[in-house]
Amino acid sequence: MVTSRNLDEVVRLLRRTVRQWDVPAVTHYQQDPFKTLISCLLSLRTRDAVTLQASKQLFRLARTPRAMAALPVGVIERAIYPVSFYRNKAGTLREVCRTLLSRYGGCVPDELEELLTIRGVGRKTANLVMTLAFSKPGICVDTHVHRISNRWGYVKTRTPEQTEMALRQRLPARYWRTYNDLLVSFGQHLCHPTSPWCSRCPLSAWCPRRGVQRTR
């Protein structure tokens, strides 16, 4: 089981392991608040390769909230296809841009609670913007972070939001900003939702495999 006592060693091995893989798609746009926000919204329920390509295509057309808000929804749809729910996301992106213009002068707010007031922005997206774009403390919990943290036995929760709150209580602050990137890469390549590659996992000695029914 992953505990507070062995967490440092677990993170050290994670960092070494994930170096062999590409960083998550949204990480390509860190330090740019607007691109981080838009890319994260595109990534929801979408594979990284598709997210990255859609982000590149969209940012060729518009790199600012003002430019993106001026695009017809149909143009945004064609640019981001085939991301999941691309029609809904196209409308959301334009609405987000209009909100940034009307309420924040075209800037992305750097406070978690402000980000959460923007329609379409949930806790995962808001925390990722805080950590990647503004280098502020935050714990982004997506499906990989939620699944793996529970699989390790580090937390015992039912929802991503519960996982975030549990990690805020338990995870040392020095790991907050990097925890998501590490577990996303790890989850995409080894610790799959079903049939994870436990035979290849450098953390197998510490993992109780909670909820795992079949491994490779």
> Does the annotation count 22 as an active-site position?
no
- Catalytic pick among 56, 142, 156, 181: 142
Alpha carbons 129 and 151: distance in angstroms, whole number: 26
> Does the annotation count 142 as an active-site position?
yes
Q: Which two tokens stand for residue 76?
A: 């945004």
- Catalytic pick among 124, 136, 156, 181: 124
At CA 187, angle to CA 155 and CA 124, rounded to 5? Answer: 65
Helix (H) / strand (E) containing 152:
none
Alpha carbons 101 and 117: distance in angstroms, whole number: 14
Fill in the DSSP letter of residue 134: T
Supply the residues annotated as catalytic.
Answer: 124, 142
